[in-house]
Structure 1
Amino acid sequence: MELKDFVKGTISDIALAIKELNDEKSNIGLLVNPNNYDQVKADKFSFIGDGRLVKDIEFNLSISASDTTETGGGLKINVLKAGISNEANNSTVSTIRFSIPVVFPGCDAPKRDYSGCG
């Protein structure tokens, strides 16, 4: 597998995962890779317009790109997992590290009445 095929496949898979999550989970308030959020660099906090915090989810993955000999084989990019396989393949293990900004669903905190204090 050429480097360009690995890079294209990895970025394509990440982009598709982001789109699928936004399509499937936006109804509960989950936003993956939100547009137009404010970053406060000094304290490393980021917020979207409704005040919810943007968190970077960091990934550090070992990836196996292999050329398999099984029927219907071809180039596959898989996250490594432990196990034993009888399939013959030529594989290369690479590491990829990236982060994706995510806004988790929020809940409204109850309003407090401080008029009787002080």
Structure 2
Amino acid sequence: MELKEFIKEAIKDISEAIDETNIELSELGVISNPSVVSVDDRDDIYGHMYLNSDSDKTTRPVHLLKFDIAVSATKKDNGKEGIGVKALGISLNKNGENSEELNNSSRLKFNLPIAFPTGKK
């Protein structure tokens, strides 16, 4: 798979995941990539959602979900190409120290603003 195809496929997959998350989790109040956010200078939170685009009042907190995943370009038996996600393996060496093994040469890092469900009164 060429680099430009890999990038387009990754963007497409991430975009579809955002859209599906917003549809499937709407009843819980989850909003992936909210459109109107006041960004904060805090370490613990990305920002707050504005009540609406004409308002200067904010409401729900928006957290920044950070992704760092290993990916590989794959070609399936049927000739179709795609992106495969590889899990990071954690193993213990004989000294008992943790080490991570990454069995892939490609990594994809991105951040996604998320407004999680709020508590009920």
Please give the TM-score of this superposition, normalised by the length of structure 2. 0.72
Identify the residue that residue 64 of structure 2 maps to in structure 1.
56
**Runs of 4+ displaced beyond 4 Å:** none
Structure 1 regions of 5+ residues with no counterpart?
A: 83-91, 110-118
Kindly provide the CA deviation profile for residues 10-35 of structure 1, in whole angstroms up to 9, marking residues without a partner as x: 00000000000101111211000001
Identity %: 32
Identify the residue that residue 83 of structure 2 maps to in structure 1.
77
Kindly provide the CA deviation profile for residues 30-87 of structure 1, in whole angstroms up to 9, marking residues without a partner as x: 000001111122x25401135211000000011010224x2x13212110148xxxxx
Aligned length: 97
Secondary structure in structure 2 of the residue aligned to 1:73:
coil
Q: Where is the strand percentage greater, Structure 1 or Structure 2?
A: 2
Whether the 8 Å contact between 1:65 and 1:93 is mirrored in structure 2 is: no
Amino acid at match of 1:93: S
Please give the TM-score of this superposition, normalised by the length of structure 1. 0.73
Cα deviation, residue 108, structure 1: 4.1
Q: From the CA coordinates, give the structure whose radius of gyration is larger.
A: 1
Structure 2 regions of 5+ residues with no counterpart?
A: 52-58, 89-103
Identify the residue that residue 100 of structure 1 maps to in structure 2.
112
